[in-house]
């Protein structure tokens, strides 16, 4: 696909379609007065969009519900591959809609993903070292068994559903002038950037990737989709070896800048959100914040910037174990 321009009418239709099934997530101001915040966060106009508060723990429910609600009623079942969050969203949506579901997970997906996805009634299969290998297996099975394959990011229905997040931002924060978004396959930043820039071209859109999985930056630099030789990051949901042609096309049109953060940067962001908001998020969910805490992105030129906290599916077993030891 040479280009793909996100149709705003399709996004609005998706927003109406999925409204009964998703949460309108909160847009929160900083937890402290600007004068009490770290230097990088001293900003009265800053807002956090808490997408980890979706039932399945991430923004992925938006695109997934839109995709499933557009399937024919006689669909035999749905199948996908995922680093974790898309699989969770698909398993949850499939259960809500009464559709059989299979999720392929790579070996680098966190172990708790299997338990969480299975709890929604989906069949979970471990396949391959990374997402791209699991994805090949899922696509092959979809073809062999006549199942509906639901791509985690590189599909118009996914992007259009994800675009509902940007519509909420515009409705709740009409003066927004900058947004920071983590990038895995690019389905979120492509949707957010496409909607925001078509409404307000002056908005600055920043993307954030792990230093060990800069798949979008590599593709933008090359001017085409390229596959990384390998990925090395704790942010399993930000770790495809390659983005898609649709998501790359959207990034080429609408994303202003991409910065990279380390795994330690993301852990620091996780700690900050837990300390100041009592929000437990996964590394991917803290990536956008990490870019600001480290000074990779400077928010001072903007009056109304937003940080998207994209996912919260972090294993809390150690936290509970520490309490259980005391009783």
Instruction: Say yes or no: do domains 8-58+155-309 and 60-149 share a fold.
Output: yes
Q: Give, in order, the Cα–Cα distances in Å from 23 to each of 31, 51, 56, 92.
A: 22, 9, 10, 13
- Nearest C-alpha neighbor of 156 from the set 11, 311, 17: 11
pTM for the whole structure: 0.93
- For every residue of 88-144, DSSP letters joined together read HHHHHHHHHHT--EEEEE-TTS-THHHHHHHHTT-EEEE-SSSHHHHHHHHHHHHHH
The pLDDT of residue 324:
62
For the domain covering 60-149, report its CATH number.
3.40.50.1100
Per-residue pLDDT of the chain (327 residues; tens, 9 = 90+): 457 889 999 999 999 999 999 999 999 998 877 777 777 788 889 999 999 999 999 999 999 999 999 999 999 999 999 988 999 999 999 999 999 999 999 888 877 788 889 999 999 999 998 888 999 999 999 999 999 999 999 999 999 999 999 999 999 999 999 999 999 999 999 999 999 999 999 999 999 999 999 999 999 999 999 999 999 999 988 989 999 999 999 999 999 999 999 999 999 999 999 998 999 999 999 999 999 999 999 999 999 999 999 998 877 665 556 556 666
- For every residue of 141-200, DSSP letters joined together read HHHHHT-EE--SSSSHHHHHHHHHHHHHHHHH-TT--EEEEE-SSSHHHHHHHHHHHHH-
Q: Please name the residues in contact with 222: beta carbons below 8 A apart, sequence gap of 6 or more.
A: none
Cβ atoms 235, 287 nearer than 8 A: yes
Q: Across-strand partners of 308?
A: 49
Retrieve residue 187's tokens: 């389905």
Cβ atoms 166, 200 nearer than 8 A: no
Helices (H), 54-101: 60-69, 85-97
The pLDDT of residue 98:
96
Architecture in CATH for domain 8-58+155-309: 3-Layer(aba) Sandwich (3.40)
What phi-psi label fits residue 146: left (phi over 0), alpha (psi between -120 and 50 degrees) or beta?
A: left
Domain boundaries, the chain: 8-58+155-309, 60-149
- Tokens 């299969």 belong to 125
HEC secondary structure over 230-298: CCCCCCHHHCCCCCCHHHHHHHHHHCCEEEEECHHHHHHHHHHHHHHHCCCCCHHHHHHHHHHHCCCCC
Cβ atoms 211, 261 nearer than 8 A: yes
């Amino acid at each position: 696909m040479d280009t793909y321009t996100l149709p705003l009418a399709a996004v609005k239709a998706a927003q109406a379609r999925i409204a009964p099934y998703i949460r309108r997530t909160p847009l929160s101001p900083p937890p402290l007065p600007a004068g009490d915040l770290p230097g990088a966060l001293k900003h009265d106009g800053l807002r956090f969009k808490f997408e980890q508060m979706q039932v399945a723990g991430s923004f992925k429910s938006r695109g997934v519900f839109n995709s499933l609600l557009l399937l024919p009623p006689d669909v035999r079942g749905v199948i996908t591959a995922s680093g974790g969050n898309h699989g969770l969203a698909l398993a949850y949506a499939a259960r809500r809609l009464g559709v059989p579901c299979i999720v392929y997970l790579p070996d680098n997906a966190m172990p708790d993903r299997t338990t969480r996805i299975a709890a929604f009634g989906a069949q979970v299969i471990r396949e391959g070292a990374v997402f791209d290998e699991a994805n090949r297996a899922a696509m092959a099975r979809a073809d062999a068994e006549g199942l509906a394959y639901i791509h985690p990011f590189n599909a118009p229905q996914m992007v259009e559903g994800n675009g509902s997040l940007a519509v909420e931002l515009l409705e709740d924060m009409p003066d927004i002038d900058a947004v920071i978004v983590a990038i895995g396959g690019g389905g979120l930043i492509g949707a957010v950037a496409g909607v925001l820039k078509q409404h307000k071209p002056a908005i600055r859109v920043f993307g954030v990737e792990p230093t060990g999985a800069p798949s979008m930056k590599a593709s933008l630099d090359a001017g085409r989709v390229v596959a990384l030789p390998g990925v090395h990051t704790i942010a399993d949901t930000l770790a495809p070896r390659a983005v898609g042609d649709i998501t790359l096309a959207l990034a080429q049109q609408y994303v202003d800048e991409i910065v990279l953060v380390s795994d330690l940067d993301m852990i620091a962001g996780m700690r900050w959100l837990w300390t100041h908001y009592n929000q437990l998020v996964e590394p991917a969910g803290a990536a956008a914040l990490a870019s600001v805490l480290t000074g990779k992105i400077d928010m001072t030129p903007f009056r109304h910037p937003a940080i998207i906290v994209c996912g919260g599916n972090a294993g809390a077993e150690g936290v509970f174990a520490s309490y259980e030891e005391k009783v």
